[in-house]
Amino acid sequence: MRKTKLAAVALAALSLLSPASSRADGARNVIVMVPDGMGLADVTATRIYKGGLAGSPLSFETLEHIGYQRTYSLNSAITDSAPAASAWACGEKFNNGEICLHRDGRPVKPSVLELARRAGKATALVATSTITHATPASFGAHVVNRSCENEIARQYVETTHVDVLLGAGTGKFNAARPDACGTMGNFAQEARNAGYAHVTTREELERAVAAGHRLVLGLFAGDGGMTPEYLRTAATTEPRLPEMTRAALRILERNHSGFFAMIEGSQVDWANHADNYDYQLGEMLAFDEAVAVVRAWIDADPERKEDTLLVVVADHDTGGFAVNGPQSALLHAGQKVEPGWTTGEHTGVDTIIWSQGPQSRRLARAVDNTDVYDVIVKALD
Ligand SMILES: [Zn+2]
């Protein structure tokens, strides 16, 4: 009897001595950052513009692990953002247009955001598109058609209860006409009734953060998305992506059980659809800044570094963007490459994954996009 008790005490002491090994496998915080539609050439061009050919890496390039993922969807070699993000969020292939829900009614798993919430963690979605757009929606809603953005807004507020929502999409949260799912309603009012601070400018967001709000609905622009970086002026009252990122972290860090956040540079994709290099460059630089904000937050505390899984991954390439020149000259900081695009649509190439933190070594190889889900679930376990 006494011997058994001693053995138990010894075992307990051993586990106390080695908390690092178990903690290293689990993540208190999970942050997924998505430069939508970013290919490797976008990275090259942005890095050159920032620091020249031999310049410093972008903020996500120096994460500990680098791998790449297949992006195809259930019904197409060329994915759209809906099944691409749903593969990460819900762990399986979906048809183009589907947001973590199958048209044939097959059951789906809860999203990683929902799993995090069940574990008592705070949750956030941040984007420069409508916050009800396909990428954020895949983490916080289940609909068979990505254009059901009113329904996605409704689910955020009524079903998923995402704590922090920052992006565009005023009309989706106060919809007088039904969407493709037949949903309409004033979900911003519902959110306010449920205790959300509803903010519409950078200043209001900063005030809500300073006031200690834990539930924040930030809708800073209409249904066309937030103002692109290259079109912003001194009069623009919308927060930039790095500012929304910082605000989200300050709100989320108040939860002692940790958090899940998805932060998207949504318009890298739109810039590549438009074959617009200045647009792409602005969005890429802002995304890079947002990653720097996250890394500074992580590096401010050694425990955060050990407890935070950070994954930076593009959902697909858009445009087949390439660095075509100059053919016989160098490039220095502030100089632009000669850009080219092979298409105005998405392409089917693999995309890079940069990561660090618990479980991230499993992303340092060639994987499928659904494997990202497995890694996040293991880290949340
Ligand atoms: Zn996309």
What pLDDT is stored for residue 24 in this prediction?
Answer: 59
The active-site residue, picked from 73, 81, 266, 360, is 81
Distance between CA 151 and CA 181 in Å, rounded?
Answer: 7
Q: Per-residue pLDDT tens for 272-283?
A: 999 999 999 999
Distance (angstroms) between ligand 1 centre and the Cα of 38 equals 9
pLDDT computed for residue 11 by the predictor = 47
Active site residue 59: no
The predicted structure's pLDDT at residue 21: 39
0.85 surpassed by pTM: yes
Q: How do strand 351-356 and strand 308-313 relate by DSSP bridges?
A: antiparallel
Low-confidence ranges of the chain (pLDDT < 70): 1-24
CA–centroid distance, residue 303 to ligand 1 (Å): 33
Task: Using the mean position of ligand 1's atoms as its centre, give its distance from the Cα of residue 115 in Å.
Answer: 23
pLDDT at 19: 41
Q: Among candidates 164, 188, 166, 184, which has minimal Cα distance to 176?
A: 184
Give me the DSSP letters along 232-293. --TT--SPPHHHHHHHHHHHHTT-TT-EEEEEEETHHHHHHHTT-HHHHHHHHHHHHHHHHH
Was domain 27-324+332-380 assigned CATH 3.30.750.210?
Answer: no
Backbone angles phi, psi at 163, to 5 degrees: -70, -40
CB-neighbour burial class of residue 130 (10 A; exposed 0-12, middle 13-18, buried 19+): buried
C-alpha of residue 276 to centroid of ligand 1, in Å = 16
pLDDT at 153: 98
254 phi and psi angles, rounded to 5 deg: -75, -15
Write the pLDDT tens digit of every residue in 213-252. 999 999 999 999 999 999 999 999 999 999 999 999 999 9
Compute the distance from residue 264 Cα to the ligand 1 centre, in Å. 10
